Amino acid sequence: MNGPRYVELLAGKLNFHMAVHNCTIFVQDGAPCHRSKVDKTFLAENRIMVLDWPGNSPDLNPIQNLWTNMKNKVAEKHPSSAKDLVKVIKEVCVKEISQEFCRILVHSMQRRLQEVIKNGGGSTKY
């Protein structure tokens, strides 16, 4: 993914999704396309506030917990082929990753941020 392609995706979806979810701050990590000049310009021109994200900070990223949970659930099913893997991933996403689990991860952000601040930017339990 490069900066221009990322901005194309943001331009088509970001404002709508932020409005639907009543969000005022956009969160993205330090991926190169998120740090690109075109991305920063787009966000500034559209007055989209972005959470200042410290470099190398998986402590703040709840998606890592989601991926780990999903990876473990998929591994438990022992898919035996690429086709079976795709099927299992889809089933796990739909049937075993609950909206409540995702909601808990999202709501953990405030605690995550507080822990990082309390630890002066150092590691946390997350």
Q: How far, in Å, are 20, 72, 97 from residue 108 at the CA level?
A: 20, 21, 17
Rounded to two decimals, the pTM is 0.54
What is residue 31's predicted lDDT score, i.e. its pLDDT?
Answer: 85
Q: Output the six-digit token pair for 59.
A: 């402590």
Q: Domain residues of the chain, as ranges?
A: 3-50, 58-118
Cα dihedral 50/42/30/20 (nearest 10):
50
Confidence of residue 56 (pLDDT cuts 50, 70, 90): low
pLDDT in tens, 11-50: 999 999 899 888 899 988 778 888 899 999 999 999 999 9
The mean pLDDT value for 71-84 works out to 96
User: What is the pLDDT, as a whole number, of residue 59?
Assistant: 63
